Structure 1
Amino acid sequence: MDESTQTESEQGTPTGYGFCSWHQRFAAGVRLINHIEQGSGPGGVQYACQPCRIQYNLVPFADR
């Protein structure tokens, strides 16, 4: 039986290959950290890979 290497809070949460806003490179397993509303500025989103989430104690948006 295959066992998941993800924690319970990460199961079912979308991850993918994308740009990590913290180490400024593309990586696998990035997750949405911040969604910045457009309001009066440009707005945007920030994604982080697993090593950066651990190093900087980042909590994914979906897990808050």
Structure 2
Amino acid sequence: MAERTQDQAAEGTPTSYGFCSWHQRFAEDVRLIDVIEQGSGSGHVHYACGPCRKTHRLVPYADR
């Protein structure tokens, strides 16, 4: 059985699967970190997985 490398989410906390902008791969438990709005075109959003949030001391956008 494969060992999980992600931290377990608290019970009742939704988790998501998506692309981590920091380690450039898909991962579980990604959270929105930053929204860059651009007036004349599409903006950018940055998501980070649990280990990248911990390593780079990233605070999720919703927790600010």
TM-score norm. by structure 1 comes to 0.74
Q: Contact conserved, 2:20 with 2:27, CA < 8 A, in 1?
A: yes
Paired with 1:26 and 1:6, the residues of 2 have a C-alpha distance of 17
Number of paired residues? 56
C-alpha separation in 2, matches of 1:15 and 1:38: 28
**1:22: Cα distance to partner?**
0.1
User: Structure 2: 5+ residue runs without aligned partners?
Assistant: 1-7
Q: Which runs of 5+ in 1 are unaligned?
A: none
Residue 15 (structure 1) shift: 3.4
Quote the residue 1:58 is aligned against. 58
Structure 1 moving runs of 4+ over 2 Å: none
Equivalent position of 2:44 in the other structure: 44
Q: Distance in 2 between matches of 1:29 and 1:47?
A: 10
Partner of 1:30: 30
1:40 deviates by 4.1
TM-score under structure 2 length normalisation: 0.74
Alpha-carbon RMSD: 1.9
- 1:39 is displaced (CA, Å) by 1.7
- Cα gap change, 1:37 to 1:21, in 2 (>3 Å): same
Determine what percentage of the aligned residue pairs are the same residue.
66
Q: Which has the higher strand share?
A: 1
